[in-house]
Structure 1
Amino acid sequence: MSDSVTKTLSRRSYSYSALAFIIVFVLGLYASYNWESQQLKVKRAQALSLAQSYSFQLKSVLDHNLSGNYTLAALVHEFGGFTRWFPQVAASLLEIYPEVNNFALSPKGIVKHVYPLEGNERVIGFNQLMDIEQGGDAWDTLKQQRLILSGPVNLVQGGRGLIGRLPIAMESRYGEAGQFWGFSSSVIRLDDLLDNINLASLVKQGYVYQLQRIDTEQPKLIAAQEPELLQDPVQVEMSLPGVTWRLQIAPKEGWLPKQTIVLYLLLCLIVAAVIARLVFTGLKMNLQKQQLTTLLSLQTEHADQTDKRLLSTLQAIPDPLLELDQDGIVLDLRTPNDELELEQFFICGEHYSKALPYAVVQILDNVFLETLHSPSQSHRGALFSLIPNNASQMLWFELSIVFRKVQDNDQLKGRFIVLLRDVSARQEAEQQQRIAATAFETQDGILISDRENRIIRVNKAFQRLSGYSEAEVIGETPAILQSGKHDDAFYQHMFESLMSKGTWEGEVWNRRKDGEVYPEWLSISTVHDHHGEISHYVATFKDISERKASERQIRQLHYYDSLTRLANRTLLLEEMTFLIHEKGLRNKQSAVLFIDLDHFKDVNDVWGHNIGDQLLQQVATRLVDTTRSKDVVARFGGDEFLVLLEPTDISINADRAIYRASHVAEKLSKALSRAFILNGVDYQIAASVGIAVFDEHSHEPLDIIKQAELAMYEAKSTGRSRHCFYEAGMQERVLERVQLETDLRHAIDNDELLLHFQPQWDAERRMVGAEALLRWQHPDRGMVSPAVFIPLAEETRLILPIGEWVLHSACQWLSNWRKQHQMQGFIMSVNVSAAQFSQENFVEQVQAILEKYHAPAEALQLELTESMLAHDQQDIISKMSALKALGVLISLDDFGTGYSSLSYLHRLPIDQLKIDQSFVANIEQGEKNASLAESIISLGHNLGMEVIAEGVETTAQFDWLAAQGCDLFQGFGLARPMTMDALLKKYQDTQTS
């Protein structure tokens, strides 16, 4: 070959090398881009899966803990708005929902009850509907009438948190639709919630995140970790009660780090340079081949003969065979089974690395190097994978390589003989086995048995849940786990389902190795062989003990009163419905006893709700002890109890049910009349009982209970502490009382209340003061007697706003009198009820009213009944002392009719004793009354108190009392109660006379 031809071929080699460099570099960039795109998809898929996992956990925690609102709302509705049960129920709910910081009840939107109170004191009195930050969500909750999650908000008690509110609508006593009662709410602190789901662990995994609320006009940030680093984040939206949240996460270093791009560029440059060098080398070698063509032609015939010998050998090999020279050039590719996909990777005449992926090239480089340095110059077992063009399945090949020297034109040349065995099926099977092994070790117990139902394998969860090791159960049947709670019919039905459907699942009670019986949810499936016969049974199960315990606790809350452990209203109504509609009352009658404790509110007002609750518990115990085991005793609400009597056969005696109901009512009244001992103190209480008898013609349980309630009110109106059967006409009397109560509630707003004043006189018949007496001028009924509406006001606690109105009116008159010189020293007495005085803020209330009207405190005298002193003495002394500090005078009314001790009386800062009118009557004739009145006057003076006698009707009574040293006098014999104008005129007449 001439020198000019050689130079031309040399220049062409350089050109081809440069072209190869450019092509390989571009292909490398393209391959890098595809590879990184795949990696990016994998990363985003992993991030999305992680975000979905945290979102699911967050949603599960919130949904679980917010469900406590439904329990509170149901109980508020069940108890008709009474909330004394709240602390005990809230305490038990906090054990079920540990992520909740506190539960609260908010009548009319104002927080009145919160549990636990410690640390949440500032929440009491918080108006959710009027708050700037929370008011919008509170109104939305009220409008939509469903549970809505608010937040994050700044909590009143400090910190930030989430608030789940559920509006509560009350029904009236007779089932009619009511109005908005308030909210039940649960507060979850945001920090505790985030710690619970361990959202911060995303940062440890190299992610940054941002949690937002997105149902608002502008997304509201809930929590974030370096949100400024979020680049093209994946996001998951969560639908929570009334709101939507979104969780966004992204790698902190970005999806494609800059150093990775630089690394890919360097690798592409290196590979392109290597390929270019190989191309140049190959062209050089080609030139050399052309030079040696003449020499090789001499050996062609010999090579042909060798090929023929090898061909017969190769035909017996089923796997592809590859022959390469020592430099890695592909000399031949034999594919006996038409494995055409290999031809695109191994190109004859080209280096094996030209079309192979970089990772495969590295494997082959290492294998060829090991083959050359091994003693046997062979290698087996190396694996690599390829993905042919236009194919979705990856092919796996196992290599068997031998390096041999062959004679070629008197020269020894190396050859690599490579056998490529397709092991794709084997790799797929191994992969499936690894997946199956991973899935086998789950949190659920798994048991596999053969067709004879002999256990052949169990997982670790099975050993943990059952207590048996694998060695102890292999070869045994699942009967080793049976608890004995299920009969043979149960297991027969199970196997019939397996035979017909191939599956069975349900709740089963099994026994652990230590003997403990526990509930589990069991799922069994059958496995069939290639003949369609059952070859194995696969059973999975999980322990549901905690779920069963929660169900029992929910049932206890739903059907039983938390304070007394008696049946509640729901259970009683279900029992009555079953008795009437399902069991039937043919030739039988039953009865409902409606029991209401007389004056129970006084116990709560004076002694506190703790004593009241203890009293209710002892009442419940006596009711249960007094009735039969088949009678149902229930707490209907507050101090109201119901007893559903066992049906009585009336086929022989038609009055038998009435007799038994009356007998039971008498027994109950007698049992309740015995003194209750609480904290070493005797409490005497009685009950009024209403009875309604019903039979097979009755339909609605609520109607029967209503009749019993009407009978109870009739018993109260006829003197209390007795029982009464329901009769027609009772409802009209109750409606009359309800109407009177309704009118009384509006009396203040309608300006129907007014004060009359009865003058008080000294021994010289000079007017020195007056007692303010409440009157009610009804627009239709006329002047209503105080004996009618005052007891009703005390029973319904309307006495509190009415008593406050009286104080306002009295102090307003005192303020006016202060401006008149002739009224200086005039004292006005105002009666205060026990419920009014027992208010915690009573002293502050009096002080505020005095300051509002600038009334002289020394002209105001509060009259307290002696019976009030029998209660919380320390509280009474404290309040009286505080009132005296203000300058207010205190009078002890009805003295001699109560139970106060003399040793206690001298400790009270009392200014005046008022002799009850029962001692004044016939005082000039009766020796006993005269002696008592004389003793009271002497006692009062000895204790430094002023003494006033009320009920002075005659001149003889006045003269006798004056002779005994009585200071002041009041009664019809001196002056009747009169209007303010008449009082002022009479006062002026006495001053001028």
Structure 2
Amino acid sequence: MPSNDEIEKLRAQIIGLGEESIRKSYYPKLQYHIHELERFRALLDQSKEMIILVDFKTRQIVDINYTVSLTYGKDKKELLGKNADIFFPTKIRENMDIIQRGNIDELKNCCITEANIITPKGEIPIEFSLQKIEFEDNAYFVIFGTNISEKNRAKEKIFQLDFYDTLTNLPNKKKLFNDLESINAKQTTFAVLLLDLDNFKAINDTKGHKLGDKLLIKVAKRLSALCKSWYFLYRIGGDEFVILIDLQGDTSQEAIMEIEEFAFKVKNNINQAYYFDEEEFVFSSSIGIEFCLSNVLSPDEILKHVEIAMYESKNKGRNTINFYDPKMQEAIKDKITLESDLKAALEKNQFCLYYQPQLDIQQKVIGLEALIRWSHPTRGLVPPSSFIPLAEESGLIIPLGEWIIQTVCKQLEKFALDEKTKNLSIAVNVSIKQFQDTYFIQRLAEILKQVHLDKINLSFELTESIVIDNIEETIIKMEEIKKLGISFSMDDFGTGYSSLSSLKRLPLEELKIDQSFIRDITTDPNDAIIVKTIIGMAKNLGLQVVAEGVETKEQFEFLQHYDCDIYQGYLFSKPLPIEELMREII
């Protein structure tokens, strides 16, 4: 038998072989798991999210990744073992309390909370995700933290673009609607002012949008400077601004007066000159105001009311302030109805022309002025003053103006067949929109081709505002129209701003003195001097003079004395349908 020593030696060899076998079998697997853990640790440290493992009972920090150290500016050793409450905001600590108390269902085992933390670089917004996990016999909090600074900046930018005007940085129309909804829910009183800059489009069109934008920025700054802390300023589009004033329940007369005083202050401030590159710009504003009680009107209705009030200010001559009145609403409804009727009137042949004769110094009829009338089915005969401005606004003046010219040309064809009327001329008023229309001359030529006349006894009456606006283009256009055989008269002369230098350049045949000067020539020395001056000036420029609105024998004799060429007015005849005029006058 082997000795004891030999047995022990053999046992040792067998054990050694076993250990070596175990090492060969398990060590590589162990090494693989160690490398796997190291790779996982490296991945965690590379994560931009903070990852924190906290003991569930003691709240001691068990482990963190590198991002936590980087964010808090502390070494890992400084954080491990510390109480997590020191580093986490109140919201996170409260959620940890709830989970520790067992209210897991309340938080669905996971909380997502936004909170700010203090770091060496300042305060940083973090989105925290908090969850309880269990591993073997221990429970832990796993906390993920994401820096949402960029996300918040993006949200702020989207909010800014959504609710603020990019040019002036003022709140926009969408923000106004939101604020009106909010103030409506407060059970208070408030006022809304809508301000529209008068004739601002002309500056944009002539000087360019770049300068127009600079002016809008200046206007915004002026308005901002006038607003108190409870006055809220908005730019809702183009050259329109709104000021919302929280009256905090005050409905007294003093509150109303205060708003009115503020509106006048705004108007006067806007009227002050603006300077760019040593050039002066002046424009006014029209303001509409509505006083509101909470929950009475919707934001849409409020804006509709102040818009009506603002347009009433424009209708009164601009540069004025108007409070909303329900009667205005009725006027607007009537206007909308009339506009709808106006669109159908051309198709239904409801328009007709009346003619007022023009006489020479011997009281012989030498021409007529065509004046449009609307025979409305329910309103009766509607005067031009009621529908021509509406036609201008809606653009219907273009087809309406064409119809007038076509009708007059047909009448001239009839005149040409009669020896008594073949030399009569007809004057037609041309609106600024019609004259400035790109296709006006083209359409005019097409109309004239449809009539068979050796001579076109047709003249166009243009107001001073038409001819003075962009005079170079106006002259070119007038010359083109003259080639078609049409002459020109300047209507309502003396009421506009034309200068002698521009007047002598225009291809005119006559001046028509506005009836406002004729009315008092026998009683007002100033009007008498103006009329005498116009007649003398026209003669020197080789132009004929027409006096409109002649109603008395004394007016006629005065004009005769100063050698006026042509007379028109109720003294001779009121405007009449052509059939009646032919029977009674011609």
In the TM superposition, what whole-angstrom CA distance separates every residue of 1:155-176 from its partner, at most 9, and x where no partner exists? xxxxxxxxxxxxxxxxxxxxxx
Mapped contact 2:273–2:280 kept (Cα < 8 A) = no
Counterpart selection for 1:489 from 90, 113, 119: 90
Mapped contact 1:675–1:685 kept (Cα < 8 A) = no
Counterpart selection for 1:662 from 256, 260, 264: 260
CA–CA separation in structure 1 for the residues paired with 2:351 and 2:114: 67
CA drift at 1:813? 3.5
Cα gap change, 1:773/1:462 in structure 2, threshold over 3 Å: closer, same or farther? Answer: farther
1:826-975 equivalent positions in 2, closer than 5 A: 827-838=425-436, 842-854=437-449, 859-868=457-466, 871-877=469-475, 879-884=477-482, 888-923=486-521, 926-958=524-556, 960-975=558-573
CA–CA separation in structure 1 for the residues paired with 2:438 and 2:326: 48
Mapped contact 1:319–1:421 kept (Cα < 8 A) = no
CA drift at 1:780? 0.4
CA drift at 1:532? 1.0
CA drift at 1:783? 0.8
CA–CA separation in structure 2 for the residues paired with 1:866 and 1:315: 122
CA drift at 1:426? 4.3
Q: In the alignment, which residue of structure 2 is the partner of 1:173?
A: none
CA–CA separation in structure 1 for the residues paired with 2:185 and 2:212: 37
Letter in 2 for 1:754: C
Mapped contact 2:89–2:117 kept (Cα < 8 A) = no
Letter in 2 for 1:691: E
In the TM superposition, what whole-angstrom CA distance separates every residue of 1:31-70 from its partner, at most 9, and x where no partner exists? xxxxxxxxxxxxxxxxxxxxxxxxxxxxxxxxxxxxxxxx
1:275-314 equivalent positions in 2, closer than 5 A: none
Letter in 1 for 2:90: A
CA–CA separation in structure 2 for the residues paired with 1:907 and 1:462: 84
Greater relative contact order structure (CA < 8 Å, 6+ sep)? 2
Cα gap change, 1:899/1:816 in structure 2, threshold over 3 Å: closer, same or farther? Answer: closer
Q: In the alignment, which residue of structure 2 is the partner of 1:421?
A: 25
Bigger CA radius of gyration: 1
The answer to whether residue 28 in structure 2 is matched with residue 444 in structure 1 is no
Q: In the alignment, which residue of structure 2 is the partner of 1:32?
A: none
CA drift at 1:824? 6.2
Structure 1 residue ranges without an equivalent (≥5): 1-308, 322-336, 338-397, 399-419, 479-485
1:399-798 equivalent positions in 2, closer than 5 A: 421=25, 425-426=29-30, 429=33, 432-433=36-37, 436=40, 439-440=43-44, 444-446=48-50, 453=61, 457-458=65-66, 473-477=75-79, 489-490=90-91, 492-493=93-94, 496=97, 505-509=112-116, 515=121, 519-523=125-129, 530-532=136-138, 534=140, 539=144, 541-545=146-150, 547-562=151-166, 564-582=168-186, 584-585=187-188, 589-595=189-195, 619-635=219-235, 641-647=241-247, 654-674=252-272, 680-694=279-293, 698=296, 700=298, 702=300, 722-723=320-321, 725=323, 731-794=329-392, 797-798=393-394
Q: In the alignment, which residue of structure 2 is the partner of 1:140?
A: none
Letter in 2 for 1:631: Y
Letter in 1 for 2:157: Q
Cα gap change, 1:770/1:727 in structure 2, threshold over 3 Å: closer, same or farther? Answer: closer
Cα gap change, 1:817/1:444 in structure 2, threshold over 3 Å: closer, same or farther? Answer: same
Letter in 1 for 2:176: L
Mapped contact 1:692–1:711 kept (Cα < 8 A) = no
Mapped contact 1:712–1:724 kept (Cα < 8 A) = yes
Cα gap change, 1:816/1:727 in structure 2, threshold over 3 Å: closer, same or farther? Answer: closer
Mapped contact 2:44–2:65 kept (Cα < 8 A) = no
CA–CA separation in structure 1 for the residues paired with 2:528 and 2:257: 50
Mapped contact 2:515–2:548 kept (Cα < 8 A) = yes
Give the % identical residues. Answer: 29
Cα gap change, 1:956/1:891 in structure 2, threshold over 3 Å: closer, same or farther? Answer: same
Q: In the alignment, which residue of structure 1 is the partner of 2:84?
A: none
CA drift at 1:810? 0.9
CA–CA separation in structure 2 for the residues paired with 1:877 and 1:612: 28
In the TM superposition, what whole-angstrom CA distance separates every residue of 1:948-982 from its partner, at most 9, and x where no partner exists? 32223345544543554444333223333233444
1:49-88 equivalent positions in 2, closer than 5 A: none
Mapped contact 1:892–1:913 kept (Cα < 8 A) = yes
Mapped contact 1:594–1:712 kept (Cα < 8 A) = yes
Q: In the alignment, which residue of structure 2 is the partner of 1:809?
A: 404
Letter in 1 for 2:577: T
Mapped contact 1:649–1:656 kept (Cα < 8 A) = no
CA–CA separation in structure 2 for the residues paired with 1:827 and 1:778: 29
CA–CA separation in structure 1 for the residues paired with 2:276 and 2:474: 20
Mapped contact 2:491–2:511 kept (Cα < 8 A) = yes
Cα gap change, 1:861/1:542 in structure 2, threshold over 3 Å: closer, same or farther? Answer: farther
Cα gap change, 1:868/1:729 in structure 2, threshold over 3 Å: closer, same or farther? Answer: closer
CA–CA separation in structure 2 for the residues paired with 1:475 and 1:311: 48
CA drift at 1:770? 3.0
Q: In the alignment, which residue of structure 2 is the partner of 1:100?
A: none
In the TM superposition, what whole-angstrom CA distance separates every residue of 1:130-155 from its partner, at most 9, and x where no partner exists? xxxxxxxxxxxxxxxxxxxxxxxxxx
Cα gap change, 1:462/1:654 in structure 2, threshold over 3 Å: closer, same or farther? Answer: same
1:57-456 equivalent positions in 2, closer than 5 A: 317=17, 421=25, 425-426=29-30, 429=33, 432-433=36-37, 436=40, 439-440=43-44, 444-446=48-50, 453=61
CA drift at 1:937? 2.7
CA drift at 1:864? 2.4
CA drift at 1:630? 0.6
Cα gap change, 1:450/1:611 in structure 2, threshold over 3 Å: closer, same or farther? Answer: closer
Cα gap change, 1:457/1:697 in structure 2, threshold over 3 Å: closer, same or farther? Answer: closer
In the TM superposition, what whole-angstrom CA distance separates every residue of 1:55-108 from its partner, at most 9, and x where no partner exists? xxxxxxxxxxxxxxxxxxxxxxxxxxxxxxxxxxxxxxxxxxxxxxxxxxxxxx
TM-score where L is the length of structure 1: 0.47
Letter in 2 for 1:801: L
Q: In the alignment, which residue of structure 1 is the partner of 2:6?
A: none
Letter in 2 for 1:862: F
In the TM superposition, what whole-angstrom CA distance separates every residue of 1:594-645 from its partner, at most 9, and x where no partner exists? 5556677777788887777666655544444434221223445666554332
Mapped contact 2:91–2:113 kept (Cα < 8 A) = no
CA drift at 1:814? 1.8
CA–CA separation in structure 1 for the residues paired with 2:475 and 2:119: 64
Mapped contact 1:692–1:707 kept (Cα < 8 A) = no
Question: Could you say what the CA RMSD is over the residues aligned between the two structures, in angstroms?
Answer: 4.8
Letter in 1 for 2:66: V
- SS of the residue corresponding to residue 397 of structure 2 reads helix
The number of residues matched between the two structures is 556
TM-score where L is the length of structure 2: 0.75
CA drift at 1:649? 6.1
CA–CA separation in structure 2 for the residues paired with 1:544 and 1:900: 63
In the TM superposition, what whole-angstrom CA distance separates every residue of 1:567-608 from its partner, at most 9, and x where no partner exists? 4444334434433433x34xxx44334555667777778888
- SS of the residue corresponding to residue 864 of structure 1 reads strand
- SS of the residue corresponding to residue 260 of structure 2 reads helix
- SS of the residue corresponding to residue 229 of structure 2 reads coil
